Structure 1
Amino acid sequence: MTFEEGFESLPLWLRPPPQGFVASDLDHLPGLPMHAELIDGSLAFFAPQTCFHSRALALFETALHAATLPELRVRSRITIILDEVQRPEPDLIVIKADDADHPNRTFYRGQDVVLVVEVISQDTRPRDTKRKPLLYAEAGIPHFWLTETQTDQLIVRVHELDSATGAYTCTGVHSDRLKLTVPFDVDIDLTTIDRM
């Protein structure tokens, strides 16, 4: 088998076009695995979710649904288009309510996002801690939470966008309780993750 024959036998989602993939490709590639995201024009995938990851998502999603203002909505595991070659899939986002929130919608736009929450997994650590925060900041998303476990304790690093620098500033590291007034009032007992 020649290289060309081998290449042609690959699924379409494994064969990037010469210019790389673009954001709209994620809606049209047949057989694309669930939860694929586009970072810098390249497809990225997730390993199976761990129990910790699942429990952290449940904790934050429940708390954010209870805390958000009527003009905001919470969404999980849905992509956001930041530009033509950036379409990450955060763990959770809080968005401005949109009358066009169709049930078959597959993405939101960066300008609609108020808060991004990423729960670090071993396979996503480099993207979650380095590349994605830069992308979210460049898109002007005002709030970013980065969460992980350290010695069986949930840690949340809260970041706010500094309008002067266009970069995130860490405004606090929380381990037992997450109590904030921006982007809205929220009070989360982080120790309840053990009961999720």
Structure 2
Amino acid sequence: MSPFMPVMPEGGFTLDDLDALPEGQVRAELTDGALTISPAPTRLHQYIAGSLCLRLSEAATGMMSATWGTEIRLAASLTRIPDVLVLRSREPDRRWFSPSNVLLAVEVESPGHHVEERITRPALYAEFGIEHYWRIETDDDQFVAVVHALRDGRYAEVSRGCRIEVAEPFTFRVDLEELRPQWARREW
């Protein structure tokens, strides 16, 4: 069975083309009309994102809520799907949001995506005014969170370590080791 591979239309893909794709276990994003299709993340990646999303949901206040795997439409031919989002919205049936709805974008780093998650995504999120960006690095035995806040149109690193403790967009703290599933823990 061959994988689903759409043919690029003249002028590139559009948001309408993206909306017409079948739902499935892949992530489809647009960059200047080019379609990038990524496989579903690993089990550990999903677990970390899901656990963080749940904790952020429990801490969110007012109209804020956390979700995961939800699209941000940055421009007519530019989209991204962060692992976790904190949104300002009361629209539960939406499949995508504009940057003005997004308070925080979180990426759990995937092997082979270091440039995308350390350079490209933060630059895009900052350009479109997303106030906070967190990156969770899982390369080593110890998880590391790199927390950024938007300052004068660019992200400034606020903290780096095995714990997240912030006051914005709401008070939140978590030890990253708490996000590691039991089956992924090493017995020392």
Under TM normalisation by the shorter chain, which class is it?
0.7 to 0.9
Larger radius of gyration: 1
Gaps of at least 5 residues in structure 2 are 183-188
The alignment status of 1:122 with 2:118, answered yes or no, reads no
User: Aligned ranges for residues 1-196 of structure 1 at < 5 Å?
Assistant: 14-29=6-21, 34-98=26-90, 101-103=91-93, 105-163=94-152, 166-175=153-162, 177-195=163-181
Deviation beyond 4 Å, 4+ runs, structure 1: 10-13, 30-33
Percent identity (aligned): 30
Letter in 1 for 2:46: S
C-alpha RMSD of matched pairs (Å): 2.2
The answer to which structure has the higher strand fraction is 2
Letter in 2 for 1:41: G
Q: Give deviations 1:114-155, integer Å, cap 9, x for gaps.
A: 000011101432221221111111110000001111322111
Alignment CA distance shift 1:130-1:28 (3 Å): same
Alignment CA distance shift 1:20-1:189 (3 Å): same
Q: Give deviations 1:149-175, integer Å, cap 9, x for gaps.
A: 132211110011112xx1111111021
**In structure 1, how many angstroms separate the alpha carbons of the residues matched to 2:42 and 2:4?**
29
- Shift of the alpha carbon at 1:70? 2.1
**In structure 1, how many angstroms separate the alpha carbons of the residues matched to 2:23 and 2:52?**
31
**In structure 1, how many angstroms separate the alpha carbons of the residues matched to 2:103 and 2:180?**
28
Alignment CA distance shift 1:28-1:171 (3 Å): same
> How many residues align structurally?
181
TM-score (normalised: structure 1): 0.83
Q: Secondary structure at the match of 2:135?
A: strand
**In structure 1, how many angstroms separate the alpha carbons of the residues matched to 2:3 and 2:23?**
7
